[in-house]
Amino acid sequence: MIDLRGTRALPLVLLLSASLAGRVGAEASLDPDAKTLEQARLLLEKLDGQPPVPVDEVVPQLVGLGQPVVPCLAVLIKGREVGKGEMAALAVLTELSRGGIDPTGVLVKSVANGDAEARATGLRLLARLGTAAALKPLVQLMSSMDPGQAPMLDMTIVAILSRNPMISTYRDVEGLLSSLAPNERPRMADCLGLAGSPLAGPLLAKLLGSDRRLDLAIATAVGRIPPHEDEATSNRLQQMLLDSDAASRCAAAVALGRTREVRAAERLVALLEDQDGEVRRAALSALREISGLDLTEGRPGWEDWLASERTWAEEQCPRMLEDLGSGDHVKVIAGAREASTHPFSRGEGVPVLVTLLGDPSIEVRLAVCGALERLGAPEAVPPLVDALDDEVEEVRTAAWTALRKITSMDLASDPDAWRGRWGLER
């Protein structure tokens, strides 16, 4: 995007004030008028003149044309190579948006009613603007878009979702999902997965089990987003490991590895001898994610690990839980460290561990953060986010490190940023 800050910013602000006064919130006309079209054309031609005029000199003049320039830009840069003309148009549309004129309607109209070049131009600009208001009309176009440009439409939706990772956006998406035809829902599931927001997890969970093709798309999406703890989703994914379709088995294995679902371990071990190579590789990767071990592909080694974990769970886990609840800081820390090396401790151990994030001992809180990090338990995300408010910096850092490892998200240590991305209340 063109950076218009600095010495040229003041004239631009003045132009905006003059051209947009009294018109904030006005709806842009959808058709260009001849006079504005000619003025905009002459200004854009300066970008390629001899000598060429810099983009940041042309942009304020285009902005000065006000609201009528929006449909003109959509027409004038259609079919041009992505370059200075489109950069100028994007900068103008951004500034007009800041001034209260929303160009979304014009651009969506060019996507809906224009020729192939107009659709491509409109989609590129909408993707780069990332305006949430464009999401609903673009999703509604999924059924009518030319198949050749459907992928571009889908990636524009992904770009808008990525730019607006707020819970309000995903509430809108939830309403849109119910209006989509069954054959369009897998595409929307793909979009949600590619956008990579944890807020997509609950939406995808609601769609599981309704259609085999959709289940495959959802399993693939779950494997792309930060892990979300949902028992119904986990149960369905485990059933998919037994599916006759290799693609479904593969996608389910990837998703279960992503969520580190230890209950799937036995079926994943069995898939190490699957007839499909991709399924075998996905199962091995999932087992490594779940166990934290780097064992080879051979099934016997993983069966030994599975047997040892079961033995530990039956014979040693009860004692470990007693240590965690003992109130003796030495025993609690030892119990947390032991839990961290045994994925089979997750079911009973993680609920106890998260309560210890409020323990008065700094050493206990640090040990618990480390254990939750190594277990990779997505159900620990909300309490770890709360631990970002801990009064001790070392604990805050340990909680942040655990969150980044569990979620694979590279957010700052600001607890409000994490709450916003996960839809959590303070």
| pLDDT one-digit tens code per residue, 333-361 | 999 999 999 999 888 999 999 999 999 99
What does the alpha-carbon distance between residue 277 and residue 294 come to, in Å, rounded to a whole number? 19
Count the alpha carbons within 13 Å of 220 in the hemisphere toward its beta carbon. Answer: 18
The residue-averaged pLDDT of 182-203 equals 92
User: Which residue, 126, 123, 217, is CA-closest to 177?
Assistant: 217
pTM of the model: 0.79
pLDDT of 297 over the 90 cut: no
Kindly report the backbone phi and psi dihedral angles of residue 160, in degrees, each rounded to the nearest multiple of 5, phi listed first: -70, -40
Contact 406, 376 (CB under 8 A): yes
For the chain, count helices (H), then strands (E): 25, 0
Sign of CA dihedral 114, 116, 121, 123: positive
For the cut 60, the answer to whether the pLDDT of residue 14 exceeds it is no
Amino acid at 56: D
The CATH-assigned architecture of domain 317-422 is Alpha Horseshoe (1.25)
Question: Could you tell me the two tokens for 317?
Answer: 């886990």
> Residues with Cβ < 8 Å from 42, sequence gap 6 or more?
none
For the chain, give every domain's residue range: 1-129, 317-422
Token digits of residue 164: 């607006």
Q: Residue 11: is its pLDDT beyond 60?
A: no
**Cα separations in angstroms, 284 against 220, 256, 373, 378, 416:** 17, 11, 21, 20, 36
The Cβ of residue 403 has, within 10 Å, a number of other Cβ atoms equal to 26
In sign, the C-alpha dihedral spanning 32, 118, 130, 230 is positive
* Dist. CA 21–CA 25, nearest whole Å: 11
Model confidence at 301, pLDDT cuts 50, 70, 90, reads very high
**CA neighbours within 13 Å on the CB side: how many for 372?**
33
Asked if pLDDT for residue 15 goes beyond 70, the answer is: no
